[in-house]
Structure 1
Amino acid sequence: MAARRLAFNFNRALKSRTAVNAIKSRGFASPITLPATTQCTTLSNGLTIATEYSPWAKTSSVGVWIDAGSRAETDETNGTAHFLEHLAFKGTNKRTQHQLELEIENMGAHLNAYTSRESTVYYAKSFNSDVPKTVDILSDILQNSKLDEGAIERERSVILREQEEVDKQLEEVVFDHLHATAFQGQPLGRTILGPRENIQSIQRSHLTEYIKTNYTPDRMVLVGAGGVPHETLVQLAREHFGSLPTATPASAALAAAQKQVPDFIGSDNLTNLDDLVHFTLREWTRLSFNVTEAEVERAKAQLKASILLSLDGTTAIAEDIGRQIITTGRRMLPEEIERVIGKITEKDVMDFAQKKIWDQDVAVSAVGSIEGLLDLPRIRNDMSRNAS
């Protein structure tokens, strides 16, 4: 009896150990994810290629980030960059608009573009096997857009209607006014779409001159994220962008002259205006002199989550790479950003606030019933009182 019980317990222990070992061994079936890295190469003409390669990804996002937006315009040509974006997919010297649309649809790809004050971006998402064709299409759009007079007139009407729609969106309008107030007489003070009179008067010559001045390789970054290897994209860049001429001294000087950026901009939806302004200024002032450890730790956690969660997908990663490189010349990886945020202390926050917020001129923008809005001298006085 004792021998039988001993044998039973032995068998049960053996089965239990086998099960545990099976569970442990299954853990090794999961792939080991290595930290992602951003590789950069610069061609002889100044074009930068930057990639983040994910060998398990089935798709890739590829795009061209150009360090030129509406801030690269003049008062007379304001709206040109956005106008060009509208004409990008209207046909090239090699492809009609229909052929362009058909090629993208046949690949199951997505092609898009946008313009901001700081940059212009053309990008696409496709299967890895279609990346060569995608790069060919992007280079064709950037270098060979037809800019047909008929298309220009059609898009002129489209942009005017778009402007009417934007004017109905108060959040867009209030930020345009804020830029105009904060950057009076500077390129960043202008709108992206441009004034109505400019939209009505922009000609093909303005568009070609903008391309010649700003679509230069030293101001471009070809970005790839997903399943496209770095060397593959470098080779494609040589094939399709290698013939782009280097920048002229005039365009380089223009870029250097327009690198001023704002230190701080703030805005809010205004309801009880006097109270809102008062409590906003009081909170700004408090950040300069009284920040708790708990507040900083909570803000750090929220900031890390916001940044890391925004990098979900190859298009988001490509956007992050392109934006960072044309802005700073390098890309901080998420791990590096997380480490930097983790080192921030209460003193760092207060030092920054005292330098950038406390007793500084502010720009205020409001749209709607603004009778209760404090004027600028009273706002500055309110900041001083809050500190006492």
Structure 2
Amino acid sequence: MAAAAAVFRAGNAFLRARRPTLFAAKRFQGSVSYAQTVANIPETQLSTLDNGVRVATEESDHPTCTVGVWIEVGSRYENEKNNGVSNFLEHVVLKGTKKHSQLEEEVESLGAHLSAYTSREQTAYYMKSLAKDLPKAMELLGDLIQSSSPSEAETERGRKLILQEMHEMESNLEEVVFDYLHATAFQGTPLGYTVVGPTENIKSLSHSNLAEFMNNHYKAPRMVVAAAGGIRHAEVVGLARKHFGGVPFKYKNDAIPVLAPCRFTGSQILVRDDALPLAHIAIAVEGVGASSPDVVPLSIASTLIGNWDRTYGGGVNQSSRLAQISVENKLGHSFQSFNTCYSDTGLWGIHLVCDGLNIEDMLHFAQGEWMRLCTSVTESEVTRAKNTLKTHLVAQLDGTTPTCADIGRQVLSYGRRISLAEWNAKIDAVDAQMLRAVCSRYIYDKCPAVAAVGPIEQLPDYNRIRSAMYWLRL
């Protein structure tokens, strides 16, 4: 998601990363069935502290654990003048506190790993360590969230680091084209902002801007302390009460931030650069929010379109029809279907990478597969996609860190963690008829958002792309 994006999207840094067994207790049972594995997943336990911080855990017998705090804040909570402040703040917070001025050395002395990320709707700080070091990890995270007081010099170092990262990101055309896609699809709204913000903002944001943003948004009811691995829920709750119980829950003048609706606009943004070797094209329709019941059918549809890279084996024997077509006609270098969900809206589409001369054909076949989803997809294809999606759901939770992240994101998005068994039941309830109906509702005859970067002279006119969003039928 963002939250369901994390569950379903086959493709924002942490969210696109690919993840021994779900449970160490089962690693010696090579014949354990999928149904048994799902049934044996420990229950996610959830408690709430007096100040509103939620504590959610999944216990296992791993020798390691991951604990983190997920906060309901990101670039969508920013405005045009301070866009980028969430990501800037995340970088500065990791510089340490007065109590832990040598943070990196402390973490390394434990053999642990501390990291963080910022997305459009969430910010997270998490730490993986030996299970016995859980108390130290919780103490470090609690101090970072509540006592971070970087000096002006540290703020400047953070500024230089972000500007350097922004320069490096320009070479990651996948990230670039997705930022452009958001910019055109949600133009004039906060979802159109990039997570890192524009260069001029990063250069002008002050130490006081960061402190003000943190005071306004790092509030207890918007936090989830999540933990997974060799931990016990009661211990985590006790440590959270000790280290996060002091997080404030009141807003100044009771001015609680409320997200404004972000409208979707069918439109395009094109950045032609013939010096680049390959064209990157992202095309999407408006998807659904994480809590929509249609998120599952749309995720199955995205899985059915699939993803492919020319380095894959299998050739024309790929399960994805679009992959078969790409191989047979030697069209693209890669493609990746995606279903990105935010709290109240989303993007459902595909990212294509191909030679400039193959753009028109790749778009033609991709949109043709979209129309087939709406009109003639078969039961066997849907069954195969459902099984693939179930496998992806299990694979994403392979380890304490992705499990912890899944807990944090889902509790922020849904108020609870939806179990794999419940996801599977939702998946099983979808048949070909339902899939065609849902796809027709969101894809058929809809105005898409298009972003393209590179040698895109052969990209069809927007009206032609729009006309391929329906089929003339007798």
Match of 2:205 in 1: 202
Match of 1:321 in 2: 407
3-state SS in 2 of match to 1:307: helix
- Asked if 2 retains the 8 angstrom alpha-carbon contact of 1:267 and 1:365, the reply is no
- Asked if 1 retains the 8 angstrom alpha-carbon contact of 2:185 and 2:192, the reply is yes
> Aligned equivalents of 2:41 and 2:174: distance in 1?
39
Structure richer in helix, relative to its length = 1
Match of 1:37 in 2: 43
3-state SS in 2 of match to 1:288: helix
Do structure 1's residue 133 and structure 2's residue 219 form an aligned pair? no
Do structure 1's residue 49 and structure 2's residue 55 form an aligned pair? yes
1:252 maps to which of 252, 256, 276: 256
1:61 maps to which of 46, 53, 66: 66
Shift of 1:250: 5.3
Change (3 A) 1:340 1:196: same
> Aligned equivalents of 2:75 and 2:457: distance in 1?
32
Shift of 1:387: 5.5
Match of 2:362 in 1: 276
Match of 2:387 in 1: 301
2:231 maps to which of 228, 233, 236: 228
Report 1:1-388 matches (<5 A): 34-54=40-60, 56-96=61-101, 98=102, 100-248=103-251, 252-255=256-259, 259-271=343-355, 272-385=358-471
Shift of 1:91: 2.3
Q: Which moved more, 1:134-143 or 1:327-336?
A: 327-336
> Aligned equivalents of 2:110 and 2:473: distance in 1?
61
Q: Deviations over 1:33-63 (max 9, x none)?
A: 8441001011121110000011x22111100
- Asked if 2 retains the 8 angstrom alpha-carbon contact of 1:41 and 1:48, the reply is yes
> Aligned equivalents of 2:362 and 2:472: distance in 1?
14
- Asked if 1 retains the 8 angstrom alpha-carbon contact of 2:371 and 2:471, the reply is no
3-state SS in 1 of match to 2:83: coil
Shift of 1:165: 0.6
Change (3 A) 1:347 1:52: same
Structure richer in strand, relative to its length = 2
> Aligned equivalents of 2:208 and 2:81: distance in 1?
13
Change (3 A) 1:178 1:366: same
Shift of 1:383: 2.2
Shift of 1:106: 2.0
TM-score, normalised with respect to structure 1: 0.87
Residue type matched to 2:81 in 1?
E
Shift of 1:251: 5.3
Change (3 A) 1:342 1:276: same
Shift of 1:368: 0.7
Change (3 A) 1:332 1:386: farther
For these two proteins, the number of residue pairs brought into alignment is: 356
3-state SS in 2 of match to 1:361: coil
Q: Deviations over 1:117-146 (max 9, x none)?
A: 121110001122211111110011111112
Residue type matched to 2:56 in 1?
A
Change (3 A) 1:357 1:95: same
- Asked if 1 retains the 8 angstrom alpha-carbon contact of 2:446 and 2:469, the reply is no
Q: Deviations over 1:333-376 (max 9, x none)?
A: 12221222122200121111011111112100100111111222
Shift of 1:382: 2.1
Change (3 A) 1:361 1:257: closer
Q: Deviations over 1:183-202 (max 9, x none)?
A: 10111111111101011101
Q: Deviations over 1:263-285 (max 9, x none)?
A: 53433224312212222211111
> Aligned equivalents of 2:164 and 2:135: distance in 1?
36
Shift of 1:327: 1.4
3-state SS in 2 of match to 1:111: strand
- Asked if 1 retains the 8 angstrom alpha-carbon contact of 2:443 and 2:469, the reply is no
Residue type matched to 1:64 in 2?
V
3-state SS in 1 of match to 2:416: coil
- Asked if 2 retains the 8 angstrom alpha-carbon contact of 1:285 and 1:386, the reply is no
Q: Deviations over 1:65-87 (max 9, x none)?
A: 11111111111111111111211
Change (3 A) 1:251 1:224: farther
> Aligned equivalents of 1:277 and 1:350: distance in 2?
21
Match of 2:269 in 1: none
- Asked if 2 retains the 8 angstrom alpha-carbon contact of 1:281 and 1:386, the reply is no
3-state SS in 2 of match to 1:64: strand
- Asked if 1 retains the 8 angstrom alpha-carbon contact of 2:181 and 2:451, the reply is yes
- Asked if 2 retains the 8 angstrom alpha-carbon contact of 1:92 and 1:141, the reply is yes
Residue type matched to 2:124 in 1?
V
Shift of 1:386: 5.8
> Aligned equivalents of 2:255 and 2:347: distance in 1?
25
